[in-house]
Structure formats: C-alpha cells, structure tokens
Structure 1
Amino acid sequence: MKPATYFDHVCSLACIILFLELVSSPKLAYADSTTQAEALLKWKSSFLNQTGNNNLTSWTSFPGNATNSSSACNVWTGISCNAARSVNRNNLTNSGIKGTLHELSFQSFPDLEYVDLSANELFDTIPPQISSLSKLIYFDVSYNQLTGIIPTEIGLLTNLQVLHLNGNQLNGSIPEEMSQLKSLYEVALNTNNLEGSIPAFLGNFTNMTNLYLFGNQLSGAIPPEIGNLSKLVELYLDDNHLTGPIPPSFGNLENLTVLYLAYNNLSGSIHSDIGKMKSLVQLSIQSNNLSGSIPASIGDLPNLTLLYLYTNKLSGSIPKEIGNLKSMVDLQLSQNQLNGSLPSSLGNLSNLASLFLRDNQLSGSIPQEIGNLTELTIVQLDTNQFSGYLPQNICRGGLLQNFTAFDNDFIGPIPVSFKTCKSLYRVRLERNLLTGNVSQDFGVYPNLDYINLSNNKLYGEISQSWGQCPKLTSLLIAGNNLTGSIPTGIGNATQLQVLDLSSNYIVGVIPEDLGRLSLTCPPTKSTSQFQAL
C-alpha cells in the first residue's frame, strides 16, 4: 500500500474539521429541536383528557404536520431551551395532565436538567428509561398517582440534586442503586407505601439538607449513619413502623432545625446529646414507646418553639431547665407517666401559647407564675393529681380559648380572670373541689361552645348571662350546691343542645322558653325541685 502523503494528512484533517462543523451546526440543532417537539406532541397525544386540558393549548404544530421547533422553545407552556435550542427544562406542575410517562421519549432529551411534573394525574410506573436523562439535576413528580417501585435505573442519574417522588402510591424498598447519587441534597419520598429499612447509605450524602421519608411503611432501626449528615436542616421520619432507639449520633446534627420522629414504635430513652442540636426549632417525637426521664439538656435548645413528647412512657419530673426555652410556643407533654410538681420556671416561657400536661401523674399546686403567660390560648391540666388553687390570672392575656382541669383535686375559687375572658371557647373544670358563687364568677362569652362545672362545691344561682352566650351548645353544672330557679333568659342561648343542672337544689318551674331549644340530653335524674309549666 502506498504510504500516506502530507497532502493525504491535510485532507483527512480537513474532513474531520468539516464533520465537526456539521455536527455543531445550527441546522442540525434545529433538527434535534424538531425531534424533541415531535416527542412532546406524541406524549401529549397519549393524555386521557385531550378535550378538557386547556393548559397545553400552546403545544401545536404548523399546518402540514411541520412542527414549529422554535415555538417549543419560546412559547410552549412549561418548555425552556438552552442556547442550542435543545430542551433543558420541563415545568408542567399543576397542568391537569392525566396520563403516563411511558409515551415520553426520554432519550430525545439529552440536555434535560429540570423536570417538574408535580400535582398532575400521572399514573402507572416510572419508566426505567429515565436513566437516559444523564444531565438531570431536578426531578419532581410529586402528588400524582404513580405506582410500582422506584426503578433501580434512577441510580444512573449521577448529577441529580433534588428528587421528589412524594405523594404517590409507590411501593417496594428504597433501591440500593440510589447510593450512587452523591450530589443529592433534597430527597422527598414521603407519603407513599415504601417498605423495608431506611438504607444506611443515606448517611453518605454529605450535601443533604432535607430528607423526607414520613408517611410510609418503613421498618427497622434508624441507621446511626444519618448522624453524619452535618448539613441536614430538616428530617422527617414520622408515621412509619420504625423501632429501636433514637440514635445518639443525632447529637451531631448541629444545623438541624426540624426533627419529626412521631408515630413510630421507637423505644429507649431520650439521649442527653439532644441538647447539642442547638439549631432545633421543632422537635416532634410523640406517639412512640420512649421511656426514662426528660433530659435536663433539653433546656439547652434556645431556638425551640415546638416540643411534642406526648403519648410515650416518659417518667420522672419535668426538669426545671425547660424554663430556659424562651422561644417555646407549643409544649405538649400529655399522656405519659410524669410525676412531681410543675417547675415554677414554666412562668419564664413568655411566648407560650399551648400547654398540654393532661393525663400524667403530676401533683402539687400550679405555680401562680403561669398566670404571667399572656400568650396562652390552650391549657390542658386534666387527669392528674394537682391540688391547690387554679392560677387566678390564667386569662391575663385575654387569648385563652381552651382550658381543661377536670379530674384533679383543685380547691378554691374559679380563676378571677375568667369573668372577663371573652375569648373562651371550651372550659372543663368538672370533678374537682372548687368553690365559689357561679352567679358572680362568670360573665358573657361570645365564643363559648362548651362549659362543664359539674361535681364541684359551687353555690349561688344560675345567672341569666348564660342566655347571652350566642354559640353555647353545652352547659353542665350538675352535682353542685346551686339554689334558686332557672332564669327565663337562659332560653335565649338558641344553640344550646345539652343542659345538665341535675343534683343541685334548684326549685321553681321550668321556663317555657327552654321548650324552644333542641335539647338532646335533658336532665332526667335530679335532686332539684322542678315544677313543669
């Protein structure tokens, strides 16, 4: 064979350059864009709601079936392109799409980086061909009706940073192949039917800031490797079937602001290292099987506004350090086995709006300092062993709506601040040893729906003011020492459905205006002395 000459080399080089120019020419890019437009139109033609979908009317082609590729980039709803007029963004959130992903030719979109198809009616499975989107950074198909498993091919999307598959009907386990997605910083797989364990490889995603796995059927222990996610800001693992302890390694999550582990079967104690999570704003670990005491280090969380520990098996006293939580708004410790008296430091929680302590074994008197909390809207102290006086200024801020203290041993008067507490909606003080004159201790309440003062030692006559409570549906003052007669004006409470004045010393006739009320539970047994009209 004849040796190649210099001229042959030059010609070969020129051919290569010419080929490269052709490959990168606008005409070829135009052809690729046309192919992409045709692929989108083919996908659209597979939708089940062709006539009812007005969101994609811009997706059209020229007469004669010549697709307008320029329109796909410039005016087609939800479609954006790069400088080479190749589709790189597909944002069709809440577009009324009812169809599948199987008719979408993923391989036609090699430059696609951003896909948001959330809040539509997509159904069927996620196709394995999704692996063709090698440049994909953002993928959101949340709040659809997708079924089946998370395809293992998703592990090939190594540039992926945000993955939202939440709000579907996906099942199976979290695939091991996802361990290759080292760039992920936000993962939302919540509200599906995923099962199996939480994979330990999630602890290798060092850029992770947000992890949402709640509302599935995940089981097993929480991997301690999650504690390696030093950039983590929000972690939601609630409403699963998780068991075992809360990993002490969570103390390493110094940037975590939200931790939700509620509604699982977690056991063991709350580790003292929880006090290292200085950025925590919300801590929700209720409805588990946690035991032991509330660690004093809980008071080292200065930004905490929400603390839910209710419905566990926690015991011991409430630590005085809880009074250090100056940002606290919502404190719920109900349905545990807590005992001892309340620390007076609770009076330091000047932002506290909700205080739930019901159904424990707490005793002693309520610190009067709680009356200094002017933001209180809900206070539940019932089903304990409290004694002494109720805080007289409990409605000092004028915001209190719900106050329950039944099934305790409280004595003394009704809180004096109740008389002018116009915000009251629901009050339950039954089964205590309270004293006082009911005709003087209560006022007129425009929002009051329910009040139960039964089985105390209250006296006096029934006030006509109850008839001026326009939303009152239930008035129960049975088992006290009331005297006098039923005032005629009580029938003006036209929403009243339950009226129980039994086991008192009321005399006289039953007012005629009570007959206009739709009472569903009228008193049937009483030591009161009534005469019907």
Structure 2
Amino acid sequence: MSIPSLPSLLLLFLLLPFHVISQPTTQNDQNTLLNLKHFWSNPPSLNHWNQSSNPCSWPEITCTATTITGINLANKEIYGTVPPLICDLKNITSLDLNYNYINGSFPTALYNCTNLQYLDLSQNFLVGRIPDDISRLSSELWYLNLFNNNFTGDIPVSISRLSKLSSLRLDQNLFNGSFPEEIGYLNELEELNLAYNDFTPSRLPPSFTQLKKIRYFYMAEANLIGELPGNLSGMATLELLDLSGNQINGSIPSDLFVLKKLTRVFLYRNNLTGGIPDSIQALNMEIIDLSENKLTGKIPDGFANLMSLTNLTLMFNQLSGEIPVGVDRLPRLQDVRIFDNKLSGPLPPDFGRYSELEIFEVNLNQFTGNLPENLCYGGKLIGLIVFNNSLSGEIPKSLENCSSLKKFWVSGNRFSGAIPDGLWKVQKLETMIMSGNLFSGQLPQVLAPELSTLEISNNRFSGQIPTGVSSWTSLRVFKASYNLLDGVIPQDLTALANLGTLLLDGNKFTGSLPATIVSWSSLNILNLSRNQLTGQIPAGLEFLEALTALDLSRNYLSGQIPSQLGGRLVFLDLSANDLTGIIPSQLNNGAFDKSFFNNPGLCSNNPSLGLNSCSSRSKTRSSNKTSARFVAIIASIAVILLLLVLLTRYVIVLYRRRKYGLNSKWKFTSFQKLNFTESKILPRLTEKNVIGQGGSGKVYRIAINRSGDVVAVKKISSKNNLDQKLEKEFRAEVKILSIIRHSNIVKLMGCISCDNSKLLVYEYMENRSLDRWLHRNQAPSSYGLNGSVCHAVLDWPKRLNIALGAAQGLCYMHHDFSPTVIHRDVKSSNVLLDSEFNAKIADFGLARILAKESELNTTSAFAGSFGYMAPECAHTTKVNEKMDVYSFGVILLELTTGKEASNGNEHSSLAEWAWQQTVGGAPIVDALDNECMDPMYLNEMTGVFKLGLKCTSKTPTNRPSMKEVCQILLRYSIAAKMGKNGADVADHFPLLKFENV
C-alpha cells in the first residue's frame, strides 16, 4: 500500500484532535494519562483531564474505537522530561509535544512506543547528542521533527535506517559535527531540513540527489562548501531548494532549472560564479533568489517565460547587459530586486502594467532612459528605489495616485523637471530622497502626513520655504543643501518639534535667523552655512538641548556669540562672518580651534584659537583725567576689596578642604610618569566641570596645567564608606587597566583614594562616547555639514574605523593578553573617541579576568546592559568571550542601522529586530541607516551588518571570535581605503579571507 502524500498526512494529523470519535477508553489508558499529567506537575492547560470525563472527549486526545492513538500537547507550557509511562499507551501512533519546556536528553523511553508514526519534539530545550541507536524508534515512523532544540555533535548514521521517514526536520539546533550521507538512501523522504546548524565544513553529498521523492530541501547556513553536485535533475520532484548562506562555490548546475516542479530557489549569500543557466524548464517558478554571489553574464531570456514568478532577487552580483524583454510583462511579478549589479540599457517600459508590483529596486546599476510610466498601475507599489543610475527625464505623473508608496529614492541620476504635485502628498509616503539630480520647481505647501525624511540636496529647487511648512510635523530629516532657495528662513520652520537634521547650506537665504527657536527640541544638526544671512545669532540656540552640530559659517552674521552657546556642541563653525566680542568661556578651548576664523572682531586669550588677544585690545583709561580725590577713593576701595578677597579666599580654602577632603588622607597611585598630583585634581571637582554621569558616579573634565592639558576623572563615592559593589568595581577597573596597555583601550593614568571616595584618572577623550554621536547627538564632520555627509562626522569610513578600533581592543583582551579579560559591559557608551575618532574601550568596572582552564569561570553578579546582553546571560553564570562578541555585534548593528540597542521596534531589541528583518526576507539595504547611505560603501555596510548578525547569533558557538571579527573588519577597512569592494580586496590579501556571515 502506498503512503499518502506529506501534505495530506499533515492535514489529517492537524484535524484529528478536532474530529474525535467519542468512545470510551480502557481504565488503564485513562490512568496513564492522569499519571502523565501528574508527572508534569498538573499544568493548568490540562485541568479538564479528570476521572469523571472520557479521555476521547479531551481535545488533546485522538481515539479510534476504544483506543487512544494520538496526543497533541503543543504549546501547553509543559516542563520536565518525557517519562517512560507515555508508552504504556500501547496503540499511540502520533505524539506532538512541540513548543513546550521539555528538557534533558533525547527521550529514549519512546523506543517502547512501537506503533509510533508521528513524533514532534520541536521547539523545546532538549540537549546532548542524538543517540546512535535512534533507529530503535518505531519502524513505522514517517514524521520526525526535532527543530529548534539544543542537540549537539553529529547526526547519527542510524537515522537513515528509519526507512519510512517522509519528513525529517533537524534544523536550528547546535549540531557541530557531521551529517551522514546515508540520509540520501531514505527513499520515501519528501521533506529534509538540516538548516541553521554549524556543521563541520562539508560538501553536499551526491547521494542527496538520489532522493527521488524529495519536495522540500532546506540546508541554509549549514556550513556547506565546495561545488554543488552535478546531478540535481535526479531530484525530479523537488519544489523548493534553500541552500542560502553557505560557502558554496563554482557555478550553478546547468540542470537546476530543468527541474519542472521547482517553484522556489534560494541560493543567496554563497560564492557562486559564472552565469545563470539558460535552460529554463521550471515554468512554475515563483521565487528566484540568487543574490549576494559573484554571478556574471546576463539575465537569461527564459526568465520572461516564468508566468508564475512573483519574486526576482538578483542583487549584489556582477550581472551585466539589459533586462530581457518580457520580464516586465510577467503577470504575477511583485518583487524586483536586482540592485548593485552592472546592468545597463533602458528599463523595460511595462514594469507594473501587467502585475501588482510592490517592490522595485534597481539602484546601483547603469540604467539609462526614463522611469517606466506604470510602475504603480496595480496600486500596490511600496518601494521605488532607483538611486545611482543614469536615468533621466521627468518623474511619471502617474505616481501622484500611488497611494501605497512608502519609499521614493531616486538620488544620483539625471532626472529633471518638477516633481508631480500629488507625489509630495501621497498619504503613506515616509521617505523621499532625490538628491543629486536636476529637479526644479518650488517646495509644496503640504507634505505627506507620514513623511519623515526629505532629501533634495544638489538640485535646482527655487523660491522660498513655503508658509505651510509648519504642517510638516512628521519630518525628522530635511536636507536641502545646494539649491536655489531664497527669502528668509521662516519662523514657522521652527515649529517642527520632531526635526533632528536641518541642512539648508549653499542656498540664497537672506535676512535674520528666526528669533524664537526653542521649539526645535529634537534638533541635532543645523547647517545654514554659505547663505547671505544677516543679524545676530539667536540666543535661543543655547537652549536647544539636543543640538550638537552647528554650522553658520560664510554668512554676514554680526554681534556677539551668545554667552551660553556650546554647552553640548561637539562641532561648531562660525567662521567667515562679522562677529565681534569675546569667545564664550565654554568655547574658549582647543576643541573649537577652527570655528572662528575670518571674524576680525572676535578675540580670545587662548592662543590655540588663532584669534587676536582680548588683552591687547583693552583700552587704558587716561590717568591724567583722574582727580586726586578719586584716586584716594579708589585706593580706599581697593584696600577694602583686598581684605574681602583675602577673607573670601580663606573661607573658600576651608570649604574646599572640607568638601574635597583635603584634610583627609588621600593616597595617589600613578601608573605612569605624571606631571601633576592630587592637588591639581581635587579642587576642580566642581559641577561646571561635570561631563557625564554613570551608575557609579560623575565624570569630570579637569585641566591640569595652563597649557591646556586635560584629564578625565571618574569619581566613585558614597555618603558612608564605599559599599561593596562600588568597591568591587573600583578594584576591578584598577586591577585590569593598571596592567593592560593597548592603543584601543582607554589609558588609566592613576587613582586617588581615601576612606569614602575613589577617583580614577584617565586620558581625556575629546569626542566623548560613540552613543552620543550615533543617537543623542549625531555630530558633524570637521569639514562641515554638507548634505552628502552622513551623521556629519560619522560617515561610513569613520564608522568603520571606529568598529575596527573597538574590535582590536577587545581582540587584545581576549586573545593577546594573559590572562584573558572579559569586559561584560561592551556597549556604545563605553566606546570612547579621541580627537581623531579613534576608538578605545572603557569602563572596566564589570570586567572579569578569566580563570585558568582548571577553574570555574563563573560570576554571581548579573552584568551587562539591556539590548547588549547575550541571551545566555539570563540562565548561566559562566563567563566567556562570546558574551563580549554578542555585545560588540550589537554595536556593529548600531553603526550600520543608526538605531539604539534597546530600540529595534516596539516589541524587540535591535538584535532581535535585525534578525527579524533578515528572516522576513526584507532587503538588507532597508535596514541600513539612510543618514550614512553612500553607494560607494554599500558593500562594506552590508557586510558589517551581516557580521553584526553573526556576532548576535543566539547560539554562542555560532558567533565568531574577536580575532575573526578583526580580520573581517580589516578587510573592509582596506577595501574602503582602496576604493574597492571587500570581495575584491580579499583576493589580494588571502589571510583576510573569511567565511560568509
């Protein structure tokens, strides 16, 4: 008798619990079920299991006549192991325990369930190896699902002796050994899933091509290497093939698309080369994803015959030539992602006319001609992304009615003319990026209600900012640099409370700046340089708490600089104006040495600013006009004032001695040769010098001499003696930093201590912490705030350099320093940046020195910060390097996405959000930070994002070491400096080659 098809059996099994033959069972079977319930501590979900009811009426139980044949306890919050008594139900054929909390090793007690045909133990917490004698399970077993457990080691050969298996799922475990080629001898197998396991590097066995009934074959991210077997046509029934995320090389077998039943192919993220096979017989193909390989040649003409095709994904390859005629007329085509290739010629005109197109991404190619007129003909278009081509002409007027459109990104082309009026107002539109074209016309009174990003820099837009600008309430980024905009900057523009970035430089604005600007509560970056602005700098700028980057250079501004301006500024450029007066004290330091040039009326007594000295300008009043009586009065007043000064100084000395403990016994321990003592530090621990507040105390910026040398001092103190936790953190930091020396680890210069206070003295890092630049502050670059610069200073090369520096610091701690040091609190706020944006790891209060192999490496303290902690921190006290790797992976995701670690979306952290984006099939480019999106570095950004994913793998063994991370980042760093992509550079630096992440 033939076995029914897999879908039929699955459907039958799912329906069985709801189609119960309500017949009485034996008392023994009922007792067994109640004992099973008791063994699992009576879970609330089984409260209806009792002596007074018939088990065949219980929804979890399937009966035939008077016999119990099935148990379905999926998602019932069951804890514990699987007891032997379950096989006292002699006639049980199906057992489903998936999505529970079952632990321990594989339940060999199930060997005694001799009639078992269907076994699902997926999504539990089973550990250890699958037993070598697993073939002792029932010879009738056709369904075995162990998906998403924690099994390790090899998959035993004996599993191939379960000859009736139709479905075998072992995906998402922790297998780190081999899988047997004998699986290829399972003649009844229709579904095989070994994906997402870290097997030892292996080729795909030729025996697998002998699976004559296989329909669904998954081995994504299974560490496959080498070339694909040539005889794929032997898998004649194959419908889905997923081998993505491996290291498969060579060409795509010529017989792949000969498989007539094939509907979905996923070979993305491998190292495949050569062309795409021309022979296309799988005419029912629905999804083709060959992205992120090294494929060359043309898109086959046969793709135009795939009438069922919904998704064509060929991005990140080296394909060339034109899109075949007819592809644009496929009736079910929804998703076209062919960006980052070398495709050329005009875009076929009928894209969107014959199908309900949703995604159209052809950016980073060499396309010419006009945009297709009917891209949104079906009314479903969500993303239109064509940046960095050579497209020209006007934007189709039909897009005015595209109510589904969310992202419109056409920068870096040769488009011209006006933007269709209705396009500005599409209800769901969130992003419009049109920089670097020849667009003209005026800005609209009304924008789309959800539009958050508007970038129109380097075009020919003209006229004034409209009076209706106050209605643009969702706008967060407005970049309009280098256009022909004129008139005054309207007061209504300051009403945009969500605005974070405003770039209006390089236009023709005149008049004064708005007088009232306190509504700009979220503004991080303001660039109004290279205009014709006049009047004074508004005092309101000093009250914008989020503002950290301000460029007003090359205007005609006059008057004095507001006295409180600069409290939070990281970048400031007021050069080439007509400003006068003294530089405010908080700006009067070397950090702003290029901020005031070409303002002849400004002065400063700080020579590093390169301005005239204020003392040389002071005019001495003529003594000849002073009467003797006046001199006498002045002399009397001077005597009185002198006495008051002396008295005041005496009181201050007493106060400082008490406040700063100068009467206490301080101990100063230096870890290098220093030219200062505690007497230079203690009196300056005042509120005006506070630059940060941590969990253990405040951080001060202290000038130690008149030359402008500065140190950072962290004060750890309590009202009484230091509590045990703070003392422990202090000792940990001193113990580690006093002996560790590395250019990417912050330098501890010394420590000062007394009974109730501890001071740590560090080198001062001018650019503070990374998180201030990525999230709260988004500071600009030293060469201005041009619209093409990402997060101003933090363009991609700087971000990549920061990532590499921080990685090198951690790598030294993990691999090159003895004994090994684990940081345990790696996060962007603990990555400090010097004046050149070199990164240094800081804050070692939670760090631990790893014990010897013979000792337990555990800690009793729960350490880390939300969003950065590895999943295993919640259930283990064992400390290892992979915890730091996870945290560093989150920093990589922050650098590439611009998001905060704890803010992936409303339901998840950044790491979880990034994994969901990837698993959900969204293109990586959608996750990357728009503020930093430079097509020149898109390969590197994508690679670092994927490295972040690899580092944040939920399974520690799947994470790379910091040494491997450094090699990968170094490769990308070299690539960025040489103007090549990472793959090209790897060919010249063989030691830097790495496995796909």
The answer to whether TM tops 0.5 is yes
User: Which residue in the other structure is 2:308 paired with?
Assistant: 327
Specify the alignment match of 1:59 in structure 2: 49
- 2:213 counterpart of 1:213: no
- Residue 316 of structure 1 deviates from its aligned partner by 0.8
Unaligned runs of at least 5 residues, structure 2: 1-24, 515-997
Aligned to 1:510: 489
Aligned to 1:483: 462
Pairwise mapping of residues 232-247 of structure 1 onto structure 2 (< 5 A)? 232-247=214-229
1:38-65 CA-to-partner distances (Å, cap 9, x unmatched) read: 44444433325x4xx2222243458xxx
Instruction: Read off the aligned partner of 1:321 and give its amino acid letter.
Output: G
Measure the CA separation in 1 of the matches of 2:27 and 2:452: 68
Larger CA deviation: 407-416 vs 323-332 = 407-416
Aligned in 2, Cα 1:77/1:395: closer, same or farther, shift over 3 Å? closer
Question: 1:133 — aligned with what?
Answer: 113
Residue in structure 1 matching 2:39, options 39, 42, 46: 46
Are 2:71 and 1:78 equivalent residues in the alignment?
A: no
- Work out whether residues 425 and 449 of structure 2, in 8 Å CA contact, stay in contact via their aligned partners in 1: no
Structure 1 Cα separation of the partners of residues 69 and 375 of structure 2: 60
Residue 415 (structure 2) pairs with residue 434 (structure 1):
yes
Give, as a single letter, the amino acid of the residue that structure 1 aligns with 2:46: L
| SS at structure 1 position matched to 2:46 | coil
Other-structure match for 1:250: 232
State the 1:196 CA deviation: 2.7
CA distance change for structure 1 residues 441 and 133 in 2, over 3 Å: closer, same or farther? closer
After TM superposition, list the pairs within 5 Å mapping 1:63-212 onto structure 2. Answer: 73-75=55-57, 78-80=60-62, 87-101=68-82, 103-106=83-86, 108-157=88-137, 158-212=139-193
- SS of 1:170's equivalent in the other structure is strand
- Identify which range, 72-81 or 143-152, moves more after superposition: 72-81
Find 1:354's aligned residue among 304, 327, 335: 335
Match of 1:302 among 269, 272, 283: 283
1:260 counterpart = 2:274: no
Change (3 A) 1:476 1:82: closer
Whole-angstrom distance in 1 between the partners of 2:426 and 2:509: 28
| Residues in 1 aligned to 2:453 and 2:470: alpha-carbon distance in whole angstroms | 13
Q: CA deviation at 1:95?
A: 2.0
* CA gap 1:515/1:208 in 2 versus in 1, 3 angstroms: same
In 1, Cα distance between equivalents of 2:87 and 2:282: 50
Distance 1:44 1:367 in 2: 64
Between the aligned partners of 2:401 and 2:474, the Cα distance in structure 1 is 22
Q: Normalization by structure 2: what TM-score?
A: 0.47
Segments of structure 1 that go 5 or more residues without pairing to the other structure are 1-31, 63-70
Give 1:179 shift. 1.9
Identity over aligned residues, as a percent?
Answer: 32
- Shift, 1:308, TM fit: 0.5
> What is the correspondence of 1:400-415 to structure 2 with a 5 Å cutoff?
400-415=381-396
**CA distance 1:397–1:77, change in 2 (3 Å):** closer
Contact 2:487 2:508 in 1 (8 A): no
208-217 vs 446-455, greater mean Cα deviation: 208-217
CA distance in 2, matches of 1:215, 1:185: 21
**One-letter amino acid of the counterpart of residue 38, structure 2:** S
Task: Quickly say closer, same or farther: Cα 1:107–1:433, change in 2 above 3 A.
Answer: closer
1-side partners of 2:151 and 2:510: how far apart? 65
1:311–1:235: structure 2 CA closer, same or farther, 3 Å change rule? same
Maintained 8 Å contact 2:401/2:422: no
Deviations 1:86-133 (A, max 9, x none): 5432222222212211x3325534433211111222111122222212
Work out which of the residue numbers 261, 267, 270 in structure 2 matches 1:285. Answer: 267
AA partner of residue 161 (structure 1): W
- In 1: Cα distance, 2:61 partner to 2:374 partner: 61
Structure 2 CA distance for aligned equivalents of residues 77 and 350 of structure 1: 44
Aligned to 2:500: 520
| Shift in alpha-carbon separation, 1:75–1:398, aligned structure 2, 3 A | closer
Specify the SS of the correspondent of 1:177.
Answer: helix
Deviation at 1:440, TM superposition (A): 4.9
1:156 maps to a residue whose letter is R
Q: Contact 2:408–2:432 at 8 Å: present in 1 too?
A: yes
CA separation in 2, counterparts of 1:197 and 1:280?
28
- In the alignment, is the contact (CA less than 8 A) between 1:502 and 1:528 conserved in 2? no
Post-superposition offset of 1:165: 1.0
How many Å separate the matches in 1 of 2:449 and 2:261? Answer: 46
Distance 1:249 1:185 in 2: 22
Q: Residues 395 and 107 (structure 1 numbering): CA distance in 2 closer, same or farther, change over 3 Å? A: closer
* C-alpha displacement of 1:33: 5.3
Question: Any idea what the Cα deviations from partners look like across 1:184-221, whole Å, max 9, x if unmatched?
Answer: 11111112112333322111111111112212223411
1:432 is displaced (CA, Å) by 1.2
Q: Distance in 2 between matches of 1:222 and 1:454?
A: 47
Residues 226 and 524 (structure 1 numbering): CA distance in 2 closer, same or farther, change over 3 Å?
Answer: same
Does the Cα contact within 8 Å between 1:245 and 1:267 map onto a contact in 2? yes
Matching residue's letter, 1:222: L
Amino acid at match of 1:482: F
Tell me the number of residue pairs that the alignment of Structure 1 and Structure 2 aligns.
486
Q: Comparing both chains, which one has the higher relative contact order based on Cα–Cα distances under 8 Å and sequence gaps of 6 or more?
A: 1
Task: Please tell me the residue identity of whatever aligns with 1:520.
Answer: G
Match of 2:450 in 1: 471
> The residue matched to 2:351 in structure 1 has which SS?
helix
Alignment-mate amino acid for residue 280 of structure 1: L
CA distance in 2, matches of 1:328, 1:107: 48
- Structure 1 counterpart SS, 2:484: coil
In structure 2, do the counterparts of structure 1 residues 153 and 353 end up closer, same or farther at CA, with 3 Å as the change threshold? same
8 Å contact from structure 1 (residues 99, 121) kept in 2 = yes
Call closer, same or farther: CA 1:496–1:163 in 2, change over 3 Å.
same
1:444-459 equivalence runs, <5 A:
444-459=425-440
Quote the RMSD (CA, aligned, Å).
2.2
CA deviation digits over 1:466-505, x for unaligned, max 9? x241111011111111111111113212111111111011
Residue type at the aligned position of 2:150 = Q
Q: More displaced, 478-487 or 106-115?
A: 106-115
The more displaced of 310-319 and 71-80 is 71-80
Structure with bigger helix share is: 2
Distance in 1 (alpha carbons) for counterparts of 2:406 and 2:64: 58
State how far apart, in whole Å, the 2-side matches of 1:254 and 1:449 are: 46
2-structure distance, mates of 1:107, 1:54: 23
1:318 aligns with 299
Partner Cα separation in structure 1 for residue 423 and residue 111 of structure 2: 69
Q: Match of 2:361? A: 380
- Looking at structure 2, the residues matched to 394 and 73 of structure 1 have their Cα atoms a distance apart, in angstroms, of 58
Structure 1 pair 468–435 and aligned structure 2 pair: CA distance change class (3 A)? closer
Q: 2:251 aligns with which of 269, 276, 279?
A: 269
SS in 2 for 1:283: strand
Task: Name the CA distance, whole Å, in 1 between partners of 2:475 and 2:40.
Answer: 54
Partner letter of residue 85 of structure 2? S
Shift of 1:274: 1.1
Distance 1:93 1:442 in 2: 49
Shift of 1:73: 4.5
| Amino acid of the structure 2 residue aligned with 1:446 | Q
TM-score (norm 1): 0.86
Correspondences of 1:337-352 after superposition (within 5 Å):
337-352=318-333
